[in-house]
Amino acid sequence: MAGPSWDRYGEYLGLEKILTAQTPWSGTPGKADFAHEEMLFIVFHQTYELWFKQTLFELDDILARFSRPVLDDRDIQPIVARMGRITEILKILERQIDILETMTPQDFIDFRDSLKTASGFQSLQFRLIETRLGLKREDRMQFNHGSYDRDYADASRKAIHAAEEGPNLHDLIDSWLARTPFIADGDYTFWESYRAAVHVMLDEKEKTARQALDGDALGRELEAITRGRQKFENIFDTKDRVWRLSPRALQAALFITIYRTEPMLQGPATLLNLVMDIDSLLARWRYRHALMVQRMMGLSAGTGGSSGYSYLMQTLEKHRIFTDLFSLSTYLIPASARPPLPDSLSAKMGYRSGTGR
């Protein structure tokens, strides 16, 4: 009877394919034209693509769960787990830059011409990640005065267009938030309760200012309070909206943020925090990547025809997706001013089975 095959490990992982996929274009190792650092450059980007593949795998499962007409409460835990894994992958992507930066700018120049028009900008998987997260075509920066996917092969363009037509995390979260039942319950309406509390808080601030201040100091404080009123009115405005989230989804997100300690809201609050973690970690990675490009290339144009550092720095802000969730912090009020939930509603958001209450 044949013994165990010690090649099974390599067979299972496909190591023959993976470990023979590094072919420097600068030349053959040991030859005069070979640039030693090109091997690091290839392995670095291949590793990126493997992590991108895993990220897409996690995102596809998240989107499938969110795409159901009603999100099963039991799906929250796996969704949170998948999102947590994506955040850890994004942290790894940023830390990997430390390894690439052991290569000096001169090392890079020695093989840069061998890359020809190859560029990280052409990563199809990264574009699919952005699209699945919710980055819209109309919100993307133009590339060389044209569409960002203009120079992709036909098959890649079709994959991008299919992703654009399919579900994305931003829109699915918007729909999920809009279905939140607790923001209106019987005679209670969160929006009206919150708005009344905001006005009471600002009225109290104005009263205190008039009692404690006078002259220019009072004038400045009253101006600040007026700006505060205008700021809060912006979130109530349903006509000239500057928000990407729908009005009801925005209300629900603020409700979850304010009352996040309620048992039924702890899972949704964790989910929203993870969404913001993903957005901020992507921004951190973009920033770190842009600095690396500047370090390696200075003001030179990027491979593939991009403007290099300048282009990357502009995407840092323009390609953010979940900025509405970050902006909600503007509208938080002190716990002392927070309107209490009606007892009947609070009871619905607790876990009291078996307590006799």
Count CB atoms within 10 A of the CB of residue 279: 21
Residue 175 scores a pLDDT above 90: yes
Alpha-carbon dihedral 20, 24, 30, 31, rounded to 10 degrees = 140
Q: Where are the domains of the chain?
A: 14-182+244-324
User: How much is the pLDDT for 154?
Assistant: 92
Q: Rounded mean pLDDT of the chain?
A: 89
Distances (CA, A) of 356 to 210, 351, 353: 51, 11, 7
User: How much is the pLDDT for 95?
Assistant: 96
Which residue reads 């509603």 in tokens? Answer: 345
Lowest mean pLDDT among 5-19, 74-88, 277-291: 5-19
Q: Which fold has domain 14-182+244-324?
A: Methane Monooxygenase Hydroxylase; Chain G, domain 1 (1.20.58)
Position 73 confidence tier, pLDDT thresholds 50, 70, 90: confident
Query: Degrees (nearest 5) of the Cα angle 332, 287, 91?
Result: 80
More confident residue, 115 or 169: 169
